[in-house]
Amino acid sequence: MVLLDGRVAVVTCAGQGIDAAIARGLRSPGAQVVVSDINGDADMSVATDIGGTDVARDATDEQQMRHLVAATARDHGRRGLFVNSASMTPDASLQEVTGADFDKAITVHLHAAWPGVREASGVKPGQKTGSIVNISSLFGKSGNPGQTDRSAAKAWIVGLTKAAAKELAHHHVRVNAVHPSLTSTPMTAAAMPPEVLAE
């Protein structure tokens, strides 16, 4: 018997990068993992590697998140973990960031977290278990120059997480946020010169 035997984990945006690593990390201690990504081709290799299920889903789409949670509960049961993420580039300084950029950052980050939290929080009577993890960012706590839009959106995820945690505590459903710092992934590789990442 290993730690997550009998548990099912859904990981959104898991076709590559940090969330793909999370999906792989959850499989090792025994969870059945459902890998979801907006890019259907991307999630395939992760799911194949870990013997999981892959589903092409847009994490910002309420209806698609509802279907993802419902299909997972139907096929695997509900004793689970739901990992919510999002991603976007590029970043720009305060004077360069446009209203449209700002709206996009807010939409992608907030709308990727909110539907997942809401749909995953549908608790059956007597269930008394579950865990939701939102991927925020260190910059949501500390702020980062050139990332006012992303920092603001990630800070919002902290508020969402704290409120949802208080609301769901009496159902024994935990809601937490993790705050990665700069990590080498396809997103950062595309946005930063290798010498900056190497530092």
Other Cβ atoms closer than 10 A to 199: 6
Contacts 24+ apart (CB under 8 A), 150-158: 150/88, 150/91, 150/105, 150/109, 152/105, 152/106, 153/105, 153/106, 153/108, 153/109, 153/110, 154/109, 154/179, 156/106, 156/109, 156/110, 157/109, 157/110, 157/113
By CB under 6 A, is residue 161 in contact with ligand NAD?
no
By CB under 6 A, is residue 135 in contact with ligand NAD?
yes
Among 87, 148, 151, 161, binds ligand NAD (CB under 6 A): 87
Q: Which stretch binds ligand NAD (CB under 6 A): 47-55, 119-127, 158-166, 177-185?
A: 177-185
Q: Are 170 and 123 in contact (CB under 8 A)?
A: no
By CB under 6 A, is residue 72 in contact with ligand NAD?
no
Q: Which stretch binds ligand NAD (CB under 6 A): 72-80, 141-149, 163-171, 180-188?
A: 180-188
By CB under 6 A, is residue 58 in contact with ligand NAD?
yes
By CB under 6 A, is residue 147 in contact with ligand NAD?
no
Question: Smallest distance from the beta carbon of 147 to ligand NAD, in angstroms?
Answer: 10
By CB under 6 A, is residue 18 in contact with ligand NAD?
yes
CA distance 27 to 52: 8
Sequence-distant (6+) residues with CB within 8 A of 22 are: 11, 14, 83
Q: Which stretch binds ligand NAD (CB under 6 A): 14-22, 69-77, 125-133, 165-173?
A: 14-22
**143 vs 171, beta carbon nearer ligand NAD:** 143
Q: Which helix (H) or strand (E) holds 106?
A: helix 99-120
By CB under 6 A, is residue 112 in contact with ligand NAD?
yes
Task: By CB under 6 A, name the binding residues for ligand NAD.
Answer: 12-13, 15-19, 37-39, 42, 58-60, 85-87, 112, 135, 137, 180, 182-183, 185-188
